[in-house]
C-alpha cells in the first residue's frame, strides 16, 4: 500500500496542529460554563453503551477536524476492507476477520475465496457440546470422576482473553467448577495452580494458536508429566487434555487426540481470539447460551462500527480522542479504570490489545514514522486505584487521559456499596475535569503556604463509559469497542495493527541462551559484555 500524502501533511492533521495550540489554552471549567448543552452534545448512547466524552479537551471544531482526519485517512474504506476479508495484515499477508467469529450463521464472509462462517459455527457447535458435557459431569476423567477444575494453559492472547472473560463473567459461571490459568514459564505459576488439585478431576486446555510457544509448550509438558505421575497411564491424556490451536500437526505430535482439538484460523490474531475456540474455558464456565450472548454483543458493536456515521460511532470517537492526546497533546499513556471488581483483568487484557497492536514505528509503506503511535495503556479497578496512583493523575506533571467504566446495576447489590462505588466514579471524573482553584482553597481558610498543595489544576480529560449491567453481551460490546478503536488509530497512524514482529527477537535470543545456562561446560561468550556477565553470574549460583 502506498500513501501519496504523509499523514502529517493531511489538511486535517496540519489544522489540528494549530488548533491544538489554541485548545491548550482552554479550560474544561470555561468550556462547560459557556455551553450548557455540552454534556448532551458530546455524549452518545449506542448498543447499550453510553459514552460521555464531554470532559475531553475538545470543541466542536476539534471534533470536526478529528472526523475530517478519519475521512482523509480513508477509514471508511479500511473498515470495509477488514470486514470484507481483504489481506489487511500486510506484513503477514493475512485477512483480519475476528469479526467473522461472531457473525451469525447465515452470514457469508470470505477469506481466500472461502466462506469462513460455516467453519466458525461448526467449531462453536463442537465447543458447546464439549462444554456442556464438562458442565453436566457427563465428561469424566480417566478414573471415571467428573471434572472439578479446568486449567487453561496459554499465554498472551491465549491467556489474557480467557482469564479476563472468566473473571468478568464469574457471576454467570458454574460454581461447581473452578478455573485456573497458567501462563508464565516461571514454574511457580504451574506449581501454585496445581498444588491442591487432584489429577483425576482436572482438565487441561492447552490454548495456543501456533502450538509452538515456548512458555505454553513447557507448561503443557509439565502438565502432562504431572498428570501421568498421578494417573500413571498414557491413555489418561485423552480424557484430561484438550487443545485449542490452528496447528493440528503439532497438537497430535504433542499426544493430544485431535478429536479433542478445537480449531481456529490464521485470520484470527492472538489478541483478537477470545471469542474463537480460545474462549473454550469461558464457554465451559458460563455455558453455551451465555457465550453466544457475548458473541451477539461483539457482533452488535461490529455492526455499529461498520454502519454508524463517524460522528455517532463509538469506536471511531474513542479512537480519535486517543489520537488527539497522543499526537497533539503529547500524552504518553492512557489509563483504563473500570469501576467493577469483575473487570479487574480488563486493563491487562487491553494492554495486549492496544500495545501489541499499535506499538509500531514503521508504516505500512515501510517508512519510519515521524509522529507518535500507540499509547501506553494501564490501569486498575476503582476504587482501589484512587488510593494508589490517582494522586499523580490529579496533581502530577503528566497528562493522562482516562477511560472510566461503570455500571448502573451491581451484580452483587449489598447495602450502599454500589451507590458509593458509582459516586466515587463520577467524583473522580469531576475532580479531574474541574479541579479546585486556589481561590476556592483559600476561601476554605487554608494557610497561604498550603494553598498550592491543595489546589487541583483540573482540565484533565476523561471518557465515561457506562452500561446498565455487566452481562456477557455487554462484555462483548465493550471488548469490540476497544478492538475497533485500536483499528481506527492504526489506520490513522498507517501501521499494521495485526502483526507483532517486536516480540520475535527476544524469543530467538532466549532460545540461544537456554542451552548456555544449562550446559555442563562453560559456553563460549558470544554475547555483549553485559549479557555474558549475567550468564556467568547465573551459572555460578544456579
Site pattern 105..144 for ligand F6P (x: CB under 6 A) = ----------------------------------------
Site pattern 495..534 for ligand F6P (x: CB under 6 A) = -----x--x-------------------------------
- Report how far apart, in Å, the C-alpha atoms of 489 and of each of 318, 331, 345, 485, 508 are: 9, 15, 23, 6, 30
Binding segment for ligand F6P (CB under 6 A), chosen from 65-73, 210-218, 367-375, 455-463, is 210-218
Name the residue nearer to ligand F6P (CB basis): 501 or 537. Answer: 501
Q: Closest separation between CB of residue 302 and ligand F6P, Å?
A: 21
Q: Which of 507, 512, 522, 525 is catalytic?
A: 507
219 binds ligand F6P (CB under 6 A): no
Q: Which of 356, 473, 483, 516 is catalytic?
A: 356
User: Which is nearest to 277 in space by CA: 263, 291, 258, 256?
Assistant: 263
Q: Closest separation between CB of residue 495 and ligand F6P, Å?
A: 15
Binding segment for ligand F6P (CB under 6 A), chosen from 50-58, 154-162, 420-428, 489-497, is 154-162
> Catalytic residue at 387?
yes
Task: Determine contact, residues 214/251, Cβ cutoff 8 Å.
Answer: no
Q: What spatial distance separates the first Cα and last Cα of the chain, rounded to whole Å?
A: 51
Instruction: Name which position in 85, 162, 263, 270 contacts ligand F6P (CB under 6 A).
Output: 270
Task: Determine contact, residues 74/12, Cβ cutoff 8 Å.
Answer: no
Site pattern 328..367 for ligand F6P (x: CB under 6 A) = ----------------------------x-----------
Instruction: Name which position in 63, 67, 131, 156 contacts ligand F6P (CB under 6 A).
Output: 156
Phi, psi for 171 (deg, rounded to 5) = -55, -30
Give SS3 for 337: strand
Cell numbers 467473522: residue: 100
Q: Closest separation between CB of residue 222 and ligand F6P, Å?
A: 16
214 binds ligand F6P (CB under 6 A): no
Instruction: Name which position in 209, 224, 239, 484 contacts ligand F6P (CB under 6 A).
Output: 209
Rounding to the nearest 10 degrees, give the CA dihedral for residues 191, 196, 199, 202. Answer: -90
Listed in sequence order, the DSSP H helices in 73-116 are 75-84
Please enumerate in sequence order all residues whose Cβ is within 8 A of that of 197, keeping only pairs 6 or more positions apart, or say none: 149, 151, 180
Instruction: Name which position in 12, 54, 62, 216 contacts ligand F6P (CB under 6 A).
Output: 216
Round to whole Å and give the CA distance between 96 and 111.
Answer: 9
Q: What share of the chain is helix, strand, coil (3-state, %, to 5)?
A: 55, 10, 35
Q: Closest separation between CB of residue 185 and ligand F6P, Å?
A: 12
Binding segment for ligand F6P (CB under 6 A), chosen from 130-138, 192-200, 208-216, 296-304, is 208-216
Tell me the Ramachandran region of residue 507: left when phi exceeds 0, alpha when psi lies from -120 to 50, beta otherwise.
alpha
User: Which is nearest to 154 in space by CA: 20, 271, 237, 21?
Assistant: 271
Q: Which three cell numbers stand for residue 328?
A: 497533539
How would you classify the pairing of strands 43-46 and 402-407? unpaired
Phi, psi for 304 (deg, rounded to 5) = -60, -45
Please enumerate in sequence order all residues whose Cβ is within 8 A of that of 529, keeping only pairs 6 or more positions apart, or say none: none
> Catalytic residue at 468?
no
> Catalytic residue at 3?
no
Binding segment for ligand F6P (CB under 6 A), chosen from 4-12, 149-157, 227-235, 394-402, is 149-157
271 binds ligand F6P (CB under 6 A): yes
Binding segment for ligand F6P (CB under 6 A), chosen from 102-110, 177-185, 205-213, 371-379, is 205-213
Distance of CA 373 to the CA centre of its chain: 17
Instruction: Name which position in 155, 251, 464, 485 contacts ligand F6P (CB under 6 A).
Output: 155
Give the residues lining the site for ligand F6P (CB under 6 A). 155-158, 208-210, 213, 216, 270-271, 356, 500, 503
Residue positions annotated with a catalytic role? 356, 387, 507
Amino acid at each position: 500500500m502506498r500513501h501519496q500524502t504523509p499523514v502529517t501533511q493531511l489538511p486535517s492533521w496540519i489544522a489540528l496542529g494549530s488548533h491544538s495550540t489554541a485548545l491548550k489554552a482552554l479550560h474544561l471549567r470555561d468550556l462547560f460554563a459557556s455551553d450548557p448543552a455540552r454534556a448532551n452534545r458530546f455524549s452518545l448512547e449506542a448498543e447499550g453503551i453510553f459514552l460521555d466524552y464531554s470532559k475531553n479537551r475538545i470543541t466542536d471544531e476539534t471534533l470536526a477536524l478529528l472526523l475530517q482526519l478519519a475521512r482523509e485517512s480513508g477509514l471508511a474504506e479500511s473498515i470495509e476492507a477488514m470486514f470484507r476479508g481483504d489481506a489487511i495484515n500486510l506484513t503477514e499477508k493475512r485477512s483480519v476477520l475476528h469479526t467473522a467469529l461472531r457473525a451469525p450463521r447465515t452470514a457469508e464472509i470470505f477469506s481466500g475465496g472461502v466462506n469462513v462462517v460455516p467453519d466458525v459455527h461448526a467449531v462453536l457447535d463442537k465447543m458447546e457440546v464439549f462444554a456442556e458435557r464438562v458442565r453436566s459431569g457427563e465428561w469424566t476423567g480417566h478414573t471415571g470422576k467428573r471434572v472439578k477444575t479446568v486449567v487453561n494453559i496459554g499465554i498472551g492472547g491465549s491467556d489474557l482473553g480467557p482469564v479476563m472473560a472468566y473473571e468478568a463473567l464469574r457471576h454467570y459461571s458454574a460454581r461447581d467448577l473452578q478455573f485456573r490459568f497458567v501462563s508464565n514459564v516461571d514454574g511457580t505459576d504451574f506449581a501454585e495452580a496445581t498444588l491442591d488439585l487432584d489429577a483425576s478431576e482436572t482438565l487441561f486446555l492447552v490454548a495456543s494458536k501456533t502450538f509452538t510457544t515456548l512458555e505454553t509448550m513447557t507448561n503443557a509438558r509439565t502438565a502432562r508429566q504431572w498428570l501421568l505421575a498421578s494417573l500413571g497411564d498414557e491413555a489418561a491424556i485423552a480424557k484430561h487434555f484438550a487443545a485449542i490451536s490452528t496447528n493440528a500437526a503439532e497438537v497430535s505430535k504433542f499426544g493430544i487426540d485431535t478429536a479433542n482439538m478445537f480449531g481456529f484460523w490464521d485470520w484470527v490474531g492472538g489478541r483478537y481470539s477470545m471469542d474463537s475456540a480460545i474462549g473454550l474455558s469461558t464457554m465451559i464456565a458460563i455455558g453455551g447460551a451465555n457465550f453466544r450472548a457475548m458473541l451477539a454483543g461483539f457482533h452488535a458493536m461490529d455492526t455499529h462500527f461498520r454502519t454508524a456515521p463517524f460522528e455517532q460511532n463509538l469506536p471511531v470517537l474513542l479512537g480519535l480522542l486517543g489520537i488527539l492526546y497522543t499526537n497533539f497533546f503529547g500524552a504518553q499513556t492512557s489509563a483504563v479504570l473500570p469501576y467493577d471488581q469483575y473487570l479487574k483483568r480488563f486493563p491487562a487484557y487491553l494492554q495486549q490489545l492496544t500495545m501489541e497492536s499499535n506499538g509500531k514505528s514503521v508504516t505500512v509503506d515501510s517508512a519510519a514514522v515521524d509522529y507518535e503511535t500507540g499509547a501506553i495503556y494501564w490501569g486498575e479497578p476503582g476504587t482501589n486505584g484512587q488510593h494508589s496512583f490517582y494522586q499523580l493523575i490529579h496533581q502530577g506533571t503528566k497528562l493522562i487521559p482516562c477511560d472510566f467504566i461503570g455500571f448502573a446495576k451491581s451484580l452483587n447489590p449489598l447495602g450502599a456499596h454500589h451507590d458509593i462505588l458509582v459516586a466515587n466514579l463520577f467524583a473522580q471524573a469531576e475532580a479531574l475535569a474541574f479541579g479546585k482553584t486556589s481561590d476556592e482553597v483559600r476561601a476554605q481558610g487554608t494557610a497561604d503556604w498550603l494553598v498550592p498543595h491543595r489546589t487541583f489544576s483540573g482540565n484533565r480529560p476523561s471518557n465515561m463509559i457506562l452500561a446498565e449491567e455487566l452481562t456477557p453481551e455487554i462484555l462483548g460490546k465493550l471488548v469490540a469497542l476497544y478492538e475497533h478503536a485500536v483499528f481506527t488509530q492504526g489506520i490513522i497512524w498507517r501501521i499494521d495493527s495485526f502483526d507483532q514482529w517486536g516480540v520475535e527477537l527476544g524469543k530467538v535470543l532466549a532460545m540461544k541462551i537456554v542451552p548456555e545456562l544449562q550446559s555442563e561446560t562453560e559456553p563460549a561468550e558470544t554475547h555483549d559484555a553485559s549479557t555474558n556477565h549475567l550468564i556467568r553470574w547465573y551459572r555460578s549460583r544456579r
